[in-house]
């Protein structure tokens, strides 16, 4: 296999290896390596074990939310409720551990997320409501439910509650491994299973898919359910890592998740997006966050810079329109 | 001489699709452009419209060299293009679509009655007076929308009017209005560049005919010096004995029996039987309910009453039905996906898809239907030419191994050589015992490619005729409800 640069497809030169366009992969790897290099040379703390573990743990929430978001975005939808679901599943789990075995309590948290996703998906698919409006409504409803359950933060005392979020397997946090498993399984799901292929096709042209005998509604509901379950899992892991569950946690988490997908080249119109590139988007976001923290940039400026960087990355990776 | 192209070349990503096209058009001329799919007609139109820059070559108008960098440039030079695809904004009125921002005003506000009056005047002046300018464009039939598209190009008098398959959705009196309009434009000195697959109408309408093959002009001729057969032979580059295969086939058992099928507001009391091994034509003008009926049988829309229709596409497919819809972009293909993903859509089986088998199945179909280019499986399906996109839709359904094939305008916007391939394929499928319902608004096709013809008018079946014993006039009479 010989790599070749071709200027064929658009404004930026494309790198094609064995018939596959690897431009995006190479660009991402380069960008991430660049970020790592800049971080390693300008900060004494970046390469320390503590910081690396920290980064690995931090990326779990964004990563899980981004994968779920990608599945929904592929159908041509959007899930704005994930931040609220993180809060609800976290506080539910933390509240239940006093009376239930920890794995069961955590299971309930994940199922709460799944249920929120099922409701979102049903409203979108069955009643043909706009995804933006449905999930905006559940953003506030689910947040409200989290506060209804407990107005104050809940801090479980059983140390076993912290295991999921803080345990290490060798140098790598268990929670990071869980996220990686989700991404690998998710990649297989989207590329190799009929349901995954259908979800992508629905975002491209739902009518064509419906006439091919595929149940469009069921697959749309499935997509939101996956997003809800991922958010539920993220909420449980986050509560376990921080050691305390707050009903106010997760505000604007949906934005990072959407940003990761879009940085990874997903089209908000649906039908186009990649699991690997979304993972790259997560890495980019987390590294930028970490860098700005290490530099001690004030958090409001961090928000400003992050927004600008997202725009810059999207401009560079924008795929040219094919004719 | 008002328009001249000299040695125009165009390449997409290193692949040259136009190899030096020369074209000359005079004032008051109807210049027809014909060619097989992939011959380069669409590319040529895009260059004339300013939508695509030429890679090299020159364009001259009135002895002056012009460069079209955008559709806006073309507009300024008086070159208007009406594409096959409809571009109207469905939620806006016909008036708004026609005037597009250039409204008459009174005290700074839009003067609506004057705007509608101006639109009505325009429509009447070109013979489309039947269209109410206050209607939302999306509520018009496809044929009427096409007429509004043409009217839009005539809001200010063009010098060159490029029409891409304008007649594909028109029939009967609509078609007559279009031809009359083209003749009037010719008298007024407009150069009309007319791209069409309907050779009969080209021979009737054109002053000169340019045949394009493989990105080159291979012949420039006149209707008096050529014939349909001659043009087909030149476009295809081979001698075609006849367009339609001989149909003398014994029919087998009934495969699909529809009785009293009704969907309120669309069609009523439709009954027919489709047998193994036969090809039944279904003719009807736009609005006759033919496509709606086929979609309903397939389970895409629920029936109000009657039997024979399936409850969902999944049930229909399980029972061995396949539906090739009339609009491949809206309901036949997922344009953003590859050829392979599109063809495999009816045969996704799990839990894990067998990728090796999918690859083989798709490659087999690409080969069997000779979809061009042969190595297209991983290409985005939008990159195929119209005819090959249509073949991809057919491939998707053939992979599901249907016993009943419902084909809705399968040759719309498809060139003659590909049509012939499609007719051969349909004939072969019927010979293997498949029952085919061929819905068409093309009279020659509906008579030539079938065993018998059902005619629909205003939602009802008004006639059933034997293809070898009927005439175009007879079918047309039934389709206007005159025999009922």
* Best mutation target, B348, B395, B397, to test chain A (most A CBs within 10 A): B348
Q: Does the pLDDT of residue A1 top 60, yes or no? A: no
Number of domains in chain B: 2
Asked if residue B177 is part of any domain, the answer here is yes
B78–A contact, CB cutoff 8 A: no
pLDDT at A19: 57
CATH label of the domain that carries residue B292: 3.40.50.300
Question: What are the b/e assignments for A252-272, b being 16+ CB within 10 Å?
Answer: ebbbbbbbbbbbbbbbeebbb
Could you tell me which residues come within 8 angstroms of residue B52 by beta carbon, excluding any fewer than 6 positions away?
A323, B10, B43, B46
Asked if residue B188 is part of any domain, the answer here is yes
Does A194 sit within 8 Å of B336, measured CB to CB? no
Tens digits of per-residue pLDDT, B256-274? 999 999 999 899 999 999 9
Of the candidates A193, A197, A211, the beta carbon closest to that of B313 is on: A211
Asked if residue B192 is part of any domain, the answer here is yes
| Same-domain check for residues B222 and B359 | no
pLDDT at A30: 85
Residue B427 · residue B419 · CB < 8 Å: no
* DSSP per-residue string spanning A188-217: HHHHHSHHHHHHHHHHH-HHHHHHTT--HH
Structure tokens at B286: 């736009």
Surface of B (385-444) touching A: CB under 8 A: 396
Minimal-distance CA residue of chain A relative to B323: A211
pLDDT at A7: 39
Does B12 sit within 8 Å of A271, measured CB to CB? no
Asked if residue A287 is part of any domain, the answer here is no
Asked if residue B241 is part of any domain, the answer here is no
Of the candidates A201, A207, A213, the beta carbon closest to that of B331 is on: A207
More confident residue, B13 or A321: B13
Asked if residue A29 is part of any domain, the answer here is no
Asked if residue A156 is part of any domain, the answer here is yes
Does B312 sit within 8 Å of A213, measured CB to CB? yes
Q: Does the pLDDT of residue A323 top 60, yes or no? A: no
* Best mutation target, B313, B330, B380, B392, to test chain A (most A CBs within 10 A): B313
Asked if residue B285 is part of any domain, the answer here is yes
Asked if residue A26 is part of any domain, the answer here is no
Distance CA(A200)–CA(B342), nearest Å, equals 11
Q: What is the interface pTM, i.e. ipTM, of the complex?
A: 0.85
Tens digits of per-residue pLDDT, B307-352? 999 999 999 999 999 999 988 888 999 998 999 999 999 999 878 9
Minimal-distance CA residue of chain A relative to B343: A212
| Same-domain check for residues B228 and B325 | no
More confident residue, A255 or A313: A255
| Same-domain check for residues B197 and B276 | no
pLDDT at B316: 96
Q: How many CB pairs below 8 A link A and B?
A: 85
| Same-domain check for residues B274 and B321 | yes
| Same-domain check for residues B223 and B290 | no
pLDDT at A4: 42
B356–A contact, CB cutoff 8 A: no
Does A9 sit within 8 Å of B12, measured CB to CB? no
Q: Domain residues for B291?
A: 254-479
Asked if residue B248 is part of any domain, the answer here is no
pLDDT, averaged per 10 consecutive residues of chain B (484 residues), comes to 89 78 92 81 90 91 90 90 84 90 84 92 89 90 85 90 82 82 92 87 92 88 88 70 74 94 94 96 86 96 95 96 92 93 92 93 94 88 87 95 95 77 92 94 84 92 90 82 57
B278–A contact, CB cutoff 8 A: no
Distance CA(B112)–CA(B96), nearest Å, equals 10
Mean confidence (pLDDT) of chain A: 89
pLDDT at B206: 94
More confident residue, B125 or A217: A217
Asked if residue A165 is part of any domain, the answer here is yes
| Same-domain check for residues B38 and B180 | yes
Distance CA(A287)–CA(B369), nearest Å, equals 51
Asked if residue A222 is part of any domain, the answer here is yes
Q: B483 CA to chain A: closest CA distance, Å?
A: 35
Q: Does the pLDDT of residue A280 top 50, yes or no? A: yes
Asked if residue A75 is part of any domain, the answer here is yes
Average pLDDT over residues A184-210: 95
pLDDT at A229: 98
CB atoms within 10 A of CB A53: 16
Distance CA(A138)–CA(A144), nearest Å, equals 9
| Same-domain check for residues B118 and B66 | yes
pLDDT at A106: 96
Q: Domain residues for A124?
A: 60-254
| CB < 8 Å to A271, chain B | 334, 336-337
A207–B contact, CB cutoff 8 A: yes
Distance CA(B152)–CA(B146), nearest Å, equals 10
CB atoms within 10 A of CB B226: 18
| CB < 8 Å to A215, chain B | 314
B383–A contact, CB cutoff 8 A: yes
pLDDT-based confidence at residue A2 (cuts at 50, 70, 90) = very low
| CB < 8 Å to A323, chain B | 12, 52
């Amino acid at each position: 296999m010989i790599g070749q640069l071709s200027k064929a497809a658009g404004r930026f030169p494309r790198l094609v290896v064995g018939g596959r366009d690897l431009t995006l992969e190479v660009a991402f790897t380069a960008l991430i390596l660049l970020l790592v290099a800049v971080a390693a040379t300008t900060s004494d703390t970046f390469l320390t074990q503590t910081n690396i573990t920290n980064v690995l743990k931090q990326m779990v929430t964004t990563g899980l939310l981004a994968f779920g978001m990608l599945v929904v975005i592929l159908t041509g939808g959007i899930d704005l409720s994930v931040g609220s679901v993180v809060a609800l599943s976290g506080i539910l789990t933390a509240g239940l551990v006093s009376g239930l075995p920890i794995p069961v309590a955590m299971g309930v948290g994940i199922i709460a997320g799944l249920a929120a996703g099922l409701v979102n998906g049903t409203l979108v698919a069955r009643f043909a409501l706009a995804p933006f409006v449905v999930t905006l409504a559940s953003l506030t409803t689910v947040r409200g439910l989290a506060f209804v359950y407990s107005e104050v933060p809940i801090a479980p005392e059983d140390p076993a509650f912290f295991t999921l979020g803080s345990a290490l397997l060798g140098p790598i946090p268990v929670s990071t491994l869980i996220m990686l498993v989700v991404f690998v399984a998710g990649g297989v799901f989207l590329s190799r299973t009929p349901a995954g292929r259908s979800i992508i096709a629905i975002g491209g042209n739902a009518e064509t898919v419906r006439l091919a005998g595929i149940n469009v509604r069921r697959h749309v509901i499935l997509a939101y359910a996956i997003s809800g379950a991922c958010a539920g899992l993220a909420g449980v892991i986050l509560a376990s890592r921080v050691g305390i569950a707050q009903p106010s946690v997760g505000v604007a988490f949906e934005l990072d998740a959407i940003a990761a997908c879009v940085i990874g080249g997903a089209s908000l119109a649906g039908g186009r997006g990649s699991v690997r590139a979304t993972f790259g988007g997560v890495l980019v976001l987390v590294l930028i966050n970490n860098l700005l923290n290490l530099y001690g940039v004030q958090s409001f400026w961090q928000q400003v810079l992050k927004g600008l960087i997202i725009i810059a990355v999207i401009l560079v990776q924008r795929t040219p329109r094919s004719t | 001489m008002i328009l001249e192209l000299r040695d125009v070349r165009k390449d997409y990503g290193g692949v040259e699709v136009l190899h030096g096209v020369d074209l000359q058009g005079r004032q008051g001329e109807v210049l027809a452009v014909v060619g097989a799919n992939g011959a380069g007609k669409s590319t040529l139109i895009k260059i004339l419209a300013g939508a695509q820059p030429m890679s090299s070559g020159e364009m001259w108008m009135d002895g002056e060299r012009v460069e079209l960098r955008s559709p806006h440039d073309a507009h300024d030079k008086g070159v208007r293009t009406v594409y096959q695809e409809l571009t109207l904004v469905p939620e806006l009125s016909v008036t708004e679509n026609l005037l597009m921002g250039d409204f008459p005003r009174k005290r700074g506000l839009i003067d609506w009655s004057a705007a509608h009056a101006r639109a009505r005047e325009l429509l009447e002046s070109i013979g489309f007076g039947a269209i109410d300018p206050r209607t939302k464009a999306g509520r018009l039939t496809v044929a009427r929308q096409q007429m509004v598209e043409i009217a839009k190009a005539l809001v200010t008098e063009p010098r060159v009017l490029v029409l891409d398959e304008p007649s594909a959705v028109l029939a009967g009196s609509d078609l007559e209005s279009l031809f009359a309009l083209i003749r009037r434009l010719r008298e007024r000195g407009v150069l009309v560049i007319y791209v069409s697959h309907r050779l009969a109408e080209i021979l009737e309408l054109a002053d000169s005919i340019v045949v394009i093959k493989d990105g080159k002009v291979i012949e420039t001729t006149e209707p008096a010096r050529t014939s349909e057969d001659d043009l087909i032979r030149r476009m295809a580059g081979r001698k075609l004995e006849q367009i339609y295969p001989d149909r003398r086939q014994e029919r087998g058992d009934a495969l699909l029996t529809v009785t009293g099928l009704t969907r309120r507001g669309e069609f009523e009391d439709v009954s027919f039987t489709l047998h193994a091994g036969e090809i039944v034509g279904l003719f009807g003008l736009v609005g006759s309910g033919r496509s709606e009926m086929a979609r309903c049988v397939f389970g895409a829309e629920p029936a109000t009453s009657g039997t024979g229709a399936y409850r969902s596409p999944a049930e229909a497919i399980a029972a061995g039905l396949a539906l090739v819809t009339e609009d491949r972009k809206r309901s036949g293909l997922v344009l953003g996906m590859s050829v392979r993903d599109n063809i495999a859509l009816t045969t996704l089986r799990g839990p894990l898809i067998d990728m090796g088998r999918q690859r083989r199945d798709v490659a087999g179909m690409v080969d069997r239907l000779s979809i061009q280019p042969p190595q297209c499986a991983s290409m985005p399906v939008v990159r195929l030419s119209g005819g090959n996109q249509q073949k991809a839709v057919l491939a998707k359904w053939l992979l599901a191994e249907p016993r009943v094939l419902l084909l809705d305008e399968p040759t719309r916007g498809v060139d003659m050589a590909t049509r012939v391939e499609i007719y051969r394929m349909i004939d072969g499928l019927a010979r293997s015992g498949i029952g085919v319902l061929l819905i068409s608004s093309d009279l020659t096709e509906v008579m030539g490619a079938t065993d018998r013809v059902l005619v629909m008018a205003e939602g009802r079946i008004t006639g059933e005729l034997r293809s070898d014993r009927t005439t175009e006039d007879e079918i047309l009479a039934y389709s206007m409800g005159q025999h009922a």
